[in-house]
Amino acid sequence: MSSLTKSCCTEAQGRSDSKSAETGFSGIARTFRVARVRISQILVFTLAAFIWSTSANGQVLYGSVVGNVTDPNGAAVPGAKVEVVHVGTHATKSTTTDDNGSFSITDLTPGSYTVTVSAASFKKELREAIQIEANKVHRVDAQLQV
């Protein structure tokens, strides 16, 4: 390999001494050192970005509404319909209460909502301007009137 190195450099520089042959490759060695440093920097930056992005996945971008629906005596009202409507977008989500009169509506984008609770033989309960925030649970209990 040293004969190849010497012949390559001596032809390029027109000299035949071995010291000048080695200096012909010093520019290439420097280029490789710079390339290694740049690659190391890119690798560190990429790893840092990856770690930062995976830690951001733990953030919740939605809010929730939970509550209980009862009658005037405080007894649970199973099967009541609960509907939430985003005031700005008119996006609607609904559910029914379980046997204990409880409900939960998740994955609500932050904003102002109207909550309507209705059940057979009861008057509708309307709650306006319920503010839903990201990563928060808002409680809305309703006591339905006959």
| Domains within the chain, CATH numbers bracketed | 2-56 (no CATH), 63-143 (2.60.40.1120)
CA dihedral 122→111→130→102, nearest 10 degrees, is 60
Give residue 55's identity as a one-letter amino acid code.
Answer: S
In the numeric block, the tokens 């319920």 are attached to: 130
DSSP H or E stretch at residue 141: none
What pLDDT score does 55 carry?
Answer: 55
Model's pTM, two decimal places?
0.60
Residue closest to 68 by CA, chosen among 120, 98, 103 = 103
**DSSP string of 30-60, one letter each residue:** HHHHHHHHHHHHHHHHHHHHHHHHHHHTT--
State the Cα–Cα distance between residues 76 and 104, nearest whole angstrom.
15
Strand, coil or helix: 11: helix
Q: What pLDDT, on the 0 to 100 scale, is given for residue 9?
A: 47
pLDDT in tens, the chain (146 residues): 444 444 444 444 444 455 545 556 677 888 888 888 888 888 888 888 877 765 555 566 999 999 999 999 999 999 999 999 999 999 999 999 999 999 999 999 999 999 999 999 999 999 999 999 999 999 999 999 99
pLDDT at 59 (0 to 100): 66
